[in-house]
């Protein structure tokens, strides 16, 4: 039994020592976290992110090579889109032009004054193109 009391005393001493060590670690962690104000840390991180993004933006804006590359890439894409647009819209505009000329010839027939009024009123931007098509005799007189 004497051994049992000694073992219990040693175990109790070890448990007390562990308790104080654990308490010391918890106090250290608590002190460590008290040093940092979480809101201030978050603000600091956000400020650093904004600084990095600002520096990256300035680098892109100020760097001539990056600007030239961006200009070249966007120009290529704009040229591709422009060519596609010209192709598609060119066909559509030509189709609309022919249909308008056909309607003017057939709906207004020989009413030249009405055709001219319609062109002046509704097609002023296309007048130079549609007049020779509808009235080829007048365009030959102007060329002579």
Reported as a single tens digit per residue, the pLDDT across 111-131 is: 788 888 888 888 888 888 878
Read off the pLDDT of residues 35-57 as tens digits, 9 standing for 90 and up. Answer: 766 777 778 788 777 777 776 66
How many angstroms separate the Cα of 26 from the Cα of each of 30, 41, 61, 131, 134?
6, 22, 50, 94, 96
pLDDT, mean of residues 67-73: 76
pTM (2 d.p.): 0.36
Question: Minimal CA–CA distance to 98: which of 126, 124, 121?
Answer: 126
Lowest mean pLDDT: which of 20-24, 94-98, 107-111? 107-111
């Amino acid at each position: 039994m004497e051994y049992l009391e000694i073992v219990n005393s040693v175990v109790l001493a070890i448990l007390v020592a562990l308790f104080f060590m654990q308490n010391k670690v918890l106090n250290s962690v608590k002190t460590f976290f008290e040093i940092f104000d979480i809101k201030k840390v978050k603000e600091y991180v956000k400020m650093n992110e904004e600084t990095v993004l600002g520096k990256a933006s300035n680098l892109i804006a100020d760097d001539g090579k990056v600007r030239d590359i961006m200009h070249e890439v966007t120009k290529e894409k704009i040229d591709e889109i422009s060519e596609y647009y010209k192709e598609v819209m060119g066909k559509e505009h030509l189709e609309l032009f022919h249909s308008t000329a056909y309607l003017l010839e057939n709906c207004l027939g020989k009413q030249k004054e009405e055709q001219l009024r319609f062109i002046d009123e509704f097609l002023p931007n296309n007048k130079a193109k549609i007049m020779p098509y509808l009235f080829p005799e007048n365009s030959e007189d102007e060329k002579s």
